Chains A and B, each alone.
Chain A
Amino acid sequence: MTEGVVASVDPGATAPPSAGRGRRGRRARRLGAMTVRLLLTLLGLLTLLFFLVRLSGDPAGVLAGPSATPQQLEAVRAGLGLDEPLLAQYAAFLGDVVRLDFGTSVFSGESALGTALGALPATLVLLVTTMLVSVAVGIPCGVLLDRGGRVTRAVVGTSMTLAQAVPTFVLGILLIYLFAVRLGWLPAFGSGTAATLVMPTLALATFAIARTARMVAAELEQVEDQDFLRTAAAKGASTRRVLWRHALPNAFPAVAAALVVEISYLISGAVVVEVLFAYDGIGKELVDAIFARDYPVVQACVFVIGVFVVVVNVVGDGLLRALDPRIARARA
């Protein structure tokens, strides 16, 4: 080949690689706005929680026990500050939240926050395995949904619809019946071992797999007509390479965004699954506390879950920006 045939330069050839102050300012403002939004969400959640708890019954009654005399009940109420006006109670409650003081469990006497936090890791493990399974199964299913032949698409599509239609607890019961009762392969309930993780993960992931698959298929269809896929083919890339190296990576940021939102939904599914499989996570802790009217623990659990969802959203947002160089580089 002949060398350096043309050497003229376009005027204003590139955007400067280092971004200006304007961009940094915008980023700070974006982060600030997000933090405010999330704090408000958290505040709303706690407020709702406070009033729901006050509406749902008298904590003092539980504490004092069924045989308590009215005098004893009154004493407990005064001790808890429950005889004060509602607004004053609310202010005191918020003050406690800010100091991360949720009191102690009515039953165990241990720190309510400590109890909630202690149950969190098991739930995190369940969420992580669920996400891994839904990505590992959901992406190939999504590809089949978009690229498969007529029959494949119909089969996968129907399975996904089914997966989304069956309620998690029904699925969980079916799983227990099949794997624990009939086949005896897996323990029906419990936590702490890998085997106890399998069924909760399956029950929780089924819905997420279907959603991931649909998301991948929808994004692939979006990306479908993009010129750069034709460019890749024009370079001599195989259909498969165009799909895996060019189409899917470009579909991924949007899928990842959806997955982050999915985690927030999964938490509520985790509550059902944990109770069903007697899996000792924060969801089960929360439900147990609700039934026992152990309000300090209920409040601590809801608070921890709320903070977790907020953190997931912040981290997710950062992750998305890191995934796309068009956004990532603009921050430099």
Chain B
Amino acid sequence: MTAALEIDDLWVEAGDPDDPLVLVRGVSLTVAAASVVGLVGESGSGKTVTCMASLGLAGRGVRITGGSVRAQGIELVGADERTLMRVRGGVVGTVFQDPLSSLNPLQRIGDQIAEAVMLHHGGRRRSHHARVVELLAKVGVPAPEQRARAYPHELSGGLRQRVAIAMALANDPALLVADEPTTALDVTVQAQVLDVIRSATRDEARSALIVTHDLGLVAEVADRVAVMYAGQIVEEGPVASVFQDPQHPYTRGLLASRPVLAAGRRRLGAMVGRPPLPGSWPAGCAFAPRCPVATGACGEAPPIRTSDQGWSRCWHPGSGETTATSRAEEGAA
């Protein structure tokens, strides 16, 4: 079966072409049919840029300089606008972080959803009213008939994000890309919106790529997880095995900084310092300055090691102790 999304060695940069700022370097990521992938990593690691550049939605001045992105087998890198328009909204539905700013403040929400349908099915916006109401009901918006006439500012944050999801699902896309869909919401509402996303994916066999800081969210909805650091994916694998037995020290650090997950576990590798910004990524392993188990070898770009059903990018992969041991060995050698 065709994968819903195949990102292959994607390179993205911004700024002056003669002195570019590299934002994403060689990201490869596959979202299989009917599977949900969580993309995690600290702020500035390039998660949003990866998603948006893939869909050609990154801002002015952001360019893809290498690699390929296929959505349902359709190549998007270098595609003409017609192809991109067909894929966006039709094959891939997108949900953004801030539901208020991502809705047009001057249009009724019903009209905005109807526009999404119209762009792929033709007709007039008004003729899609029934579908709009159906979509609103589906994402749990109460009194959808009336709500369709509301403006974004008249809805709560949770309802707005439901509207945004309804809009993304308008044409029954094979893939849902959601960039931190719950981050801007109240904690109480996050769980509800997560429910909506879960039903839109699990229950309808839809694939999804979900960007988030929330490892708990990943544990709940994702099948696989990709961990991003300094413009690269450093570890990828099934959620269960990555969370149980993280291979990359950065993944271990992320997990350790999460109180709920870390409870009862050794707080090995809780992270110090801040992630480096694009343009100041260390050579070799970019995580080395913060890595508790770094060695001299880490000044070279680490190799990719496959494990179980995933892989990681580290000289000393494995659990905390093994790494400590291997370091001791290296020191002895």
Residues of A within 8 A of B (CB): 1-15, 17, 224-228, 230-239, 245-246, 249-250, 324-326, 329
Interface check B46, CB cutoff 8 A: no
Complex CA–CA separation, A5 to B105 (angstroms): 27
Whether A15 contacts B119 by the Cβ 8 Å rule is no
Complex CA–CA separation, A10 to B99 (angstroms): 15
What are 20 residue pairs bridging A and B, where the CB atoms are less than 8 Å apart in the complex?
A: A2-B203, A3-B138, A4-B138, A5-B138, A7-B140, A8-B140, A10-B157, A13-B142, A14-B154, A224-B60, A227-B102, A230-B96, A231-B96, A231-B164, A233-B88, A234-B168, A239-B81, A250-B106, A326-B105, A326-B151
Choice from A12, A225, A233 contacting B57 with Cβ under 8 Å: A233
- Knowing A7-B140, A12-B156, A236-B90, say if A227 contacts B120 (CB, 8 Å): no
Choice from A6, A227, A237, A246 contacting B98 with Cβ under 8 Å: A227
Which of B87, B106, B120, B170 has the most chain A CB atoms inside 10 A of its CB? B106
Whether B88 contacts A234 by the Cβ 8 Å rule is yes
Whether A6 contacts B155 by the Cβ 8 Å rule is no
B interface size (C-beta, 8 A): 57
Choice from B52, B55, B105, B119 contacting A228 with Cβ under 8 Å: B105
Interface check B180, CB cutoff 8 A: no
- Knowing A6-B139, A227-B101, say if A14 contacts B150 (CB, 8 Å): yes
Nearest chain A CB to B60 CB, angstrom units: 8
Interface check B31, CB cutoff 8 A: no
Contact with A along B60-101 (1 / 0, CB 8 A): 100000000000000000000100011111100110101001
- Knowing A10-B156, A226-B101, A325-B106, say if A236 contacts B164 (CB, 8 Å): no
By a CB distance below 8 angstroms, the chain A residues around B286 are none
Residue on A nearest B200 in the bound complex, by CB: A5
Complex CA–CA separation, A280 to B102 (angstroms): 52
By a CB distance below 8 angstroms, the chain B residues around A1 are 134, 138, 172, 204
Closest 6 CB pairs of A and B: A236-B89, A5-B199, A10-B158, A6-B140, A234-B94, A227-B102
Nearest chain B CB to A148 CB, angstrom units: 14
Complex CA–CA separation, A13 to B140 (angstroms): 11
Whether A4 contacts B85 by the Cβ 8 Å rule is no
Whether A230 contacts B57 by the Cβ 8 Å rule is yes
Complex CA–CA separation, A2 to B189 (angstroms): 23
Whether B156 contacts A13 by the Cβ 8 Å rule is yes
Interface check B259, CB cutoff 8 A: no
- Knowing A325-B106, A326-B151, say if A234 contacts B55 (CB, 8 Å): yes
Interface check B221, CB cutoff 8 A: no
Whether A228 contacts B101 by the Cβ 8 Å rule is yes
Interface check B188, CB cutoff 8 A: yes
Residue on A nearest B135 in the bound complex, by CB: A1
By a CB distance below 8 angstroms, the chain A residues around B93 are 234
Complex CA–CA separation, A230 to B62 (angstroms): 14
- Knowing A9-B140, A228-B104, A233-B57, say if A2 contacts B204 (CB, 8 Å): yes
Interface check B116, CB cutoff 8 A: yes
Interface check B195, CB cutoff 8 A: yes
Nearest chain B CB to A247 CB, angstrom units: 10
Whether A236 contacts B88 by the Cβ 8 Å rule is yes
Whether B188 contacts A11 by the Cβ 8 Å rule is yes
Choice from B116, B138, B151 contacting A329 with Cβ under 8 Å: B151
By a CB distance below 8 angstroms, the chain A residues around B52 are 230
Complex CA–CA separation, A231 to B116 (angstroms): 10
Interface check B290, CB cutoff 8 A: no
Which of A11, A15, A232 has the most chain B CB atoms inside 10 A of its CB? A232
Given A8-B195, A236-B89, 20 extra CB contacts under 8 A: A1-B172, A2-B138, A4-B138, A5-B200, A6-B138, A6-B139, A7-B142, A13-B155, A15-B155, A226-B101, A227-B101, A228-B103, A231-B102, A233-B57, A234-B93, A236-B116, A237-B119, A250-B105, A326-B151, A329-B151
Choice from A5, A6, A234 contacting B89 with Cβ under 8 Å: A234
Contact with A along B159-184 (1 / 0, CB 8 A): 10000100110111000000000000
Residue on B nearest A231 in the bound complex, by CB: B102
Complex CA–CA separation, A82 to B104 (angstroms): 63
Interface check B59, CB cutoff 8 A: yes
Complex CA–CA separation, A228 to B109 (angstroms): 12
Whether A235 contacts B159 by the Cβ 8 Å rule is no
Interface check B196, CB cutoff 8 A: yes
By a CB distance below 8 angstroms, the chain B residues around A5 are 138-140, 196, 199-200, 203
